[in-house]
Amino acid sequence: MLRSDRSGRVTLGALAFLVIGMLIAVLLWGARTVPGRATSADIDLSTLDFGEFGAESITEPRNDKDKYSRLIESARMSEAIADPREVDASLVPKLPVPLSRAADTTGILADVAVPILSRYGMLAGYSVAGCPPKNCPTFNRPWSVRTTVLRLPDDAAAKSAATEIEAADFALNPANAPVTLPEYPGVQGHWRPNVPTLGMMLAHGPFVVAIFVTFPSPDLGELSRLAAKAIAVELPRLDRFQPTPVADLPKLRFDPDGMLRRMVHTTRGEWSYPYITKFQPNAIAGDGYYMEPSGLVFGPIGSRQTLPGASEAAGIADDAIESTATLDRDWLFRLRDAGAARRLAKSESAYGQMQTPMADPPVPDAKCLRHEQIVPVYYCVVQDGRYVAVVNATDEKTVHQRAAAQYALLVRNR
């Protein structure tokens, strides 16, 4: 399951590399062989106990609600946000969050932004912070950069919204002073002298881009340098992103790449529609909040921001994770090859602090552990080909049934 290493980074496993002998053991675990020819480790799926969980893929339903389209487009926009490590290599992504409604910007932008974004018809958005791993996320942290991109219906709406949000935010405190960036004449911003934070706002095509930076001291030169660097790496990334045409938003599919159909849905035979659970939504503006998505799929950039340190922990390339899907606290990852998937699965199932090994389910390439929390969490890591899944439950029997169902879904969707 997702956990943090001692540096505070979220990783998918312990920081360990596989030696050749361990890799061979993983490859051979549970496999059957025919003399002279290696064969699959598949088993008879009819022998498995799925309990109440479905092991057959559910037909993807038609998307007929605006709120779902906004969520899907917001998840897509994770690919439009520059990784904070592009601003500075010492930063670690934290608190990435899809923003499908104007109200979702509370805790990221000043509250005065909500009615303005609503009036101009905000369609979708995404935000991610970056800060040093040992002191993140907390207000008055040594330094940090948060990039937020919001999509409006057109260029004119974005320009008006950016201008009005900056003016309304500026008016909140008489101590605010305007700040400009010579290299970006269209950027508006402000700070309070002697307060080590700076907010900048600009319109870029149909997008509103908000940059919020903090620094250990109220050094306007350093704050401005950080903001300019964040804008410099963000705008080219945004230019490469292809937003869904407004007329096509209602046509967005839940599962175009077949990630969600490979997962165990909450209720047997019923599609689990996307939603976001927010925690601590009333944080100080700029600080953001923690969220848990469900029923959404993220691309390679979104995966790296959601799971910083995972590639390093597993000893795989930084771009090895191609796609990540979430479903009620279960996760599915698609990697670019089976070798990287095996290493990720091994990293995720490594015993760490607060984790206790337990019996594995009767399926190939699966390991199970119990995370010792106030209420223990039982979870299993299941790997098949390029896919790695993490399933959770509140007891051992149930998590074994979920792991069996998850394995069957991966096999049936090869």
Q: In degrees rounded to 5, what are phi and psi of residue 190?
A: -155, 165
Per the DSSP assignment, residues forming a β-bridge with 198 are 213
Give burial (CB, 10 Å; 0-12/13-18/19+) of 341.
buried
- Topology adopted by domain 66-246: Protein Transport Mog1p; Chain A (3.40.1000)
Q: Quickly tell me which residue has 């003016």 as its tokens.
A: 167
**Interatomic CA distance for residues 55 and 405, integer angstroms:** 5
Q: Which helix (H) or strand (E) holds 272?
A: none
**Interatomic CA distance for residues 269 and 261, integer angstroms:** 11
Contact 48, 363 (CB under 8 A): yes
pLDDT at 16 exceeding the cut of 90: no
pTM for this entry: 0.86
Contact 206, 241 (CB under 8 A): no
**Identity of residue 179:** V
| DSSP state letters, 374-390 | SS-EEEEEEEETTEEEE
**Interatomic CA distance for residues 108 and 111, integer angstroms:** 9
* Count of other CB atoms within 10 angstroms of residue 220: 14
pLDDT at 6 exceeding the cut of 50: no
Q: In degrees rounded to 5, what are phi and psi of residue 323?
A: -155, 150
* Count of other CB atoms within 10 angstroms of residue 367: 22
Q: In angstroms, what CA-CA distances link 125 with 55, 202, 265, 323?
A: 34, 15, 26, 19
Taking only the tens place, the pLDDT of each residue in 99-114 is 999 999 998 999 999 9
**CATH code 3.40.1000.70 region(s) in the chain:** 66-246
Mean local confidence (pLDDT), 44-50: 93
Taking only the tens place, the pLDDT of each residue in 118-162 is 999 999 999 999 988 776 655 555 789 999 999 999 999 999 999
Q: Which helix (H) or strand (E) holds 213?
A: strand 207-214
